[in-house]
Structure 1
Amino acid sequence: MKAASPELIALLAQSQFLMADLYTLTLKSGEVKRYTSADIDITLAGNTFIHDGPLIQRDRTRTVVGIEVDTLQLTINPKTTDLLNGVPFLKACRNGALDGATLLLQKAFMASWGDTAAGAVTLFSGRVSGMMFSRTQAQIEVKSDTELLNIMLPRNTCQPTCLNTLFDAGCGLAKSGWQQTGALQAGSTQGSFNVGLTNFPDGWFALGTILFTTGINAGVMVTIKRHAAGVVTPSIPLISPPSTGDQFTIVPGCDRRQATCGNTYARVFTANASTDQLASAGHTYADGDRVVVSNTGGALPGGLSAGTIYYVVSAVTDAFKVSLTYNGSPVNITSAGSGTHKVRSIGKFDNLARFRGFPYVPIPETAL
């Protein structure tokens, strides 16, 4: 049963009214597009649905009892002036602009064109699940929101990798705090982007994404396969070659391992003020690892601060140095400090409290 306002019920009782489809397309980027099948713009609840956007045809909707996943088929014929994320509609669709997009279909009932006092009825809502393209149109399949119920139970399965998706509500990290912007440097090709950003360790942006914001590839987002020495390799090459100076926004990726979120295990170390080395027998740190230090029963060595993120440099057997920047100069250790010093790896994101993997831990034979 569809909910209707008293004004709409009264209008329907008159048996004379006008109707128009209202489409609200919300992209994953946050951009919202609103279109109508009417011959004039329609304003509903402060939102304007434009009439001169792409021509949209749809199949019939239906209402069923239960939790069956329904689908809606759309055929969209855009004009060259219809844009998504600032890119021509069909090109943006091919580049993945509709990946993860949601669609809300409403039916507006009006006593006269533009009179939306009676409101609208929601006919369908769902997520874009598939697309096919030709030179002039896009055929889009949208699945209803009940598809979200199609998840494995119990939710927390026993697996070593984290169940969260990077930057989702479960992860808790804010994407805006991790993304970087820049411009392509010389030597970039369709399958290799020289992004610079050499102040980040190799692999930092692997499994992440890069979104081009200017140039011929504006609006194109691709997944990063590899990252080394300031160069990222996309999982799929670009269709159009990029140019030096094309601007981008790049976000690191996550392999969902516990070590990427951090480690609860802390190692004891001692500091040598004459060599700036931190000695820790059997440590496994490598240059570029991110660590934090702590102290109990005394004071940290001079030059080190609790809670500060350091990068491991000059790592050798049983000793290493730390720097405030990746591949930077070692911190000048001015004293050995007192009490017990500990160092702990914080991984890439320092988000261990949110890690939702359940690694299998074998029982030692001595416990049997």
Structure 2
Amino acid sequence: MTDLSTTRCTAWAITRADGTTLGFTDHDADLTFAGLTFRAASGMTASTLAQGSGLSVDNAEGFGTLTADAMREADIRAGHFDGADVKIWQVNWQAPAVRQQIFHGTLGEITLEGGAWRAELRGAAEALSRPLGRSYQRGCAAVLGDAACGFDLSTPGFTADTTLRSATETRLTLPAIDAAPRWFERGQVQILSGAAAGLTATIKTDEAAGDTRILTLWSPLAITPEPDAQIRLLPGCDKRMATCRAKFGNLPNYRGFPHIPGEDWLRAIPKSGASGESLFQ
């Protein structure tokens, strides 16, 4: 009888959002099963999986080396592996048909460390820890353009497609745009072409200066886009009812509670007075 303790290895399958599936193994030779080749040259391994009963979240870490044709630094920085589907098996490398799936979840935050990558492995129960329901708050709880908001961002005059003149990590210089200054503050910039294609960032400030539009970002893009890259600008929303009405004409879908009593009302005390006067001071 074969001693499985000496013929057992681990195999990982990572499926990105674009449908690309990559296979890795800690065995010293490639394995093939389930229609996928699991490569031994990846240097990938994982910490011990913390698996429990019930609905606890079973999280661990995966780490490996950067390679030119698998886990490339540019793809990681561009976000292609964010939220990727992960499956892990224990496999008998002498007979790959003898295997057991021990994990199914997603990749969490990925960090780069001197030619290697490290990522949190989030178990399938992770989704159960997300808060549900609405918050009772003054500002709108919807995200501009989502199902709750209902506003169509493709409406003419609200978004803008243009070409980048120059860029640093947090500053983008563009040609003049037919939109009011500060129109895109709190909105998003989407990179549509070049090495940074697919990246998005939130706009902190939006300034018009003659024939130039200057955007400052809240945080740097993982890859600085090159000049002449195509970009798309989405309008910003400050979550106020007045903005929803005046800028977007979308007041029926406002998802806030602007008439919540403030702290002054909560501290008010009763007072006596004539009929029709306020009973609080």
Normalised by the length of structure 1, the TM-score is 0.54
Q: Paired residue for 2:254?
A: 355
Deviation for aligned residue 1:121: 4.1
Query: Is 2:14 aligned against 1:24?
Result: yes
Tell me the distance in 2 between the aligned counterparts of 1:121 and 1:212: 38
- Provide Cα deviations, 1:214-234, integer angstroms capped at 9, x if missing partner: 345445433211112232111
Query: Is 2:175 aligned against 1:196?
Result: yes
Q: Paired residue for 2:243?
A: 260
Deviation for aligned residue 1:110: 9.0
* Correspondence 1:52-201 to 2 at 5 A: 54-82=42-70, 89-94=72-77, 96-99=79-82, 101-107=83-89, 121=101, 123-126=103-106, 128=108, 130-151=109-130, 155-173=133-151, 180-185=160-165, 188-196=167-175, 198-201=177-180
Deviation for aligned residue 1:50: 6.1
Unmatched runs of 5 consecutive residues or more in structure 2: 1-6, 266-275
Tell me the distance in 2 between the aligned counterparts of 1:260 and 1:367: 31
The 3 A distance-change label for structure 1 pair 210 and 52 is farther
Deviation for aligned residue 1:58: 1.6
**2:230 paired residue among 240, 247, 260:** 247
Deviation for aligned residue 1:140: 0.7
Structure 1 SS opposite 2:126: helix
- Provide Cα deviations, 1:56-104, integer angstroms capped at 9, x if missing partner: 3122334322232221201031212336xxxxx22443455555x1433
Structure 2 SS opposite 1:228: strand
Tell me the distance in 1 between the aligned counterparts of 2:48 and 2:151: 41
Query: Is 2:212 aligned against 1:224?
Result: no
Percent identity over the alignment? 21
Deviation for aligned residue 1:257: 2.2
Normalised by the length of structure 2, the TM-score is 0.68
Tell me the distance in 1 between the aligned counterparts of 2:140 and 2:228: 37
Q: Rg: which structure is higher? A: 1
- Provide Cα deviations, 1:139-168, integer angstroms capped at 9, x if missing partner: 111333433333557x33321112223344
